[in-house]
Amino acid sequence: MKLGLIVEGHGEVQALPILIRRILQALDSPVQPHVLPPYRVPRGQLVKESEFQRAIELVARKVGEAGRILVLLDSDDDLPCALGPRLLGWAINQRADRAMSVVAAHREFEAWFLAAAESLRGRRGLPDDLSAPPEPERIRNGKGWLGARMPDGYSESLDQPAFASHFDLTAARRADSFDKLYRDVGRLFGIVVPPRGL
């Protein structure tokens, strides 16, 4: 079984496959999909119906009939609860014959690292007493929040995959958009996902 990924950022090209594998491992998945290299589409194109559907069509052909597709993008200033369903509707209109999910990270992917900040203490220059902000998904610039606490700043292409390999998945589920990703990965592969502890 193949899993096709559509992402918007350079960092997600490396980070998302790592994250998907970690979630499947955490869920004791009996399925080990072949995760294809992510197909990157800049956000400006990804939120246009014709461009989005073009990407869905391309990836649907790559994954085949039994394949799955997951789309991940930052919501930025859009509401994830509006952006995600709108894009999923476009995806279904294009390829209703594929199992698909669209996840919009509230604000930015990096908000998920903020939600589990304690688990990243001491990594890549982050301080040993790092604490998660009370409402990580309300911070508009998660990259800046991390970069301000790192001696060499934050590099999306270098630090995002490194942090994706280590952050605490359970702690990150307090971020609603990460919890949706976690649940959707389970749903795509028929795995029952336990509710998060709040």
Q: Tokens in use for 65?
A: 């009939």
pLDDT band at 197 (very low <50, low <70, confident <90, very high): confident
* Cβ–Cβ under 8 Å, residues 25 and 187: no
Strands (E), 94-148: 99-105
Question: Cα 46 vs. chain centroid, distance in angstroms?
Answer: 15
Of 63, 62, 64, 50, the closest CA to residue 94 belongs to 50
Mean pLDDT of 117-129: 98
Quick one: average pLDDT of 66-82? 96
Predicted pLDDT at 198: 57
Q: DSSP 3-state assignment of 104?
A: strand
Q: Please name the amino acid found at residue 107.
A: R
Q: What pLDDT does 61 receive?
A: 98
Residue 76 pLDDT: 94
